[in-house]
Amino acid sequence: MSVAPFFILLCALCAGLAALLVPHVAKAQSHDEQFDCKSNPHEFISTLIEEKSIDPNPSRVEANSVNAFSPAHGSRLSAFGFPIYVVLGYAHDDTLFHRGAGKELDAPLYGVVVSAPAESVRSRLREANSDATVHSVVPLLLTAIVCGG
């Protein structure tokens, strides 16, 4: 058996695999620009709902009324290069958000929880001159990027 046909077959398989992966990479939606913190929770969440990037109903409502929205099945959201685990939002007297059982936050907020360590996220936000704040959710695993609150 000659090496040339094997090499051609291997190249064809690699090209096919690359063609399958490109749409998935291109489909990832970055939302870095919204973390200049000049937007508002309603606009941030409603845009993601309209894009069908997140489920329209919150998957969880915290006691302080912060609503957590899950990414829609098949969506690949990212912020600052990190995959988004959950999207957060809250604004007083906004029907888009459900009320929690406890005391509501004093100020509106929006943000995301990404799969990345807090220090890596802080570094990317500094590079982007973002006004968002960073909060470790699960050390070394999950980090919140938040505007407002």
pLDDT at 149: 82
pLDDT at 95: 95
The domain total for the chain is 1
Its pTM stands at 0.78
Q: Which domain holds residue 42?
A: 29-148
Beta strands 29-30 and 142-148, pairing class: unpaired
**Residue at 87 is within a domain:** yes
Render pLDDT for 118-137 as a digit per residue (tens, 0 to 9): 999 999 999 999 999 999 99
pLDDT above 50 for 36: yes
**Residue at 19 is within a domain:** no
Render pLDDT for 44-61 as a digit per residue (tens, 0 to 9): 999 999 999 999 999 999
In sequence order, the 6+-apart residues with CB closer than 8 A to the CB of 88 are 66, 67, 68, 69, 109, 110, 111, 112, 113, 144, 146
**Residue at 94 is within a domain:** yes
**Residue at 64 is within a domain:** yes
Q: Is pLDDT larger for residue 76 or for residue 117? A: 117
**Residue at 20 is within a domain:** no
**Residue at 9 is within a domain:** no
**Residue at 51 is within a domain:** yes
**Residue at 6 is within a domain:** no
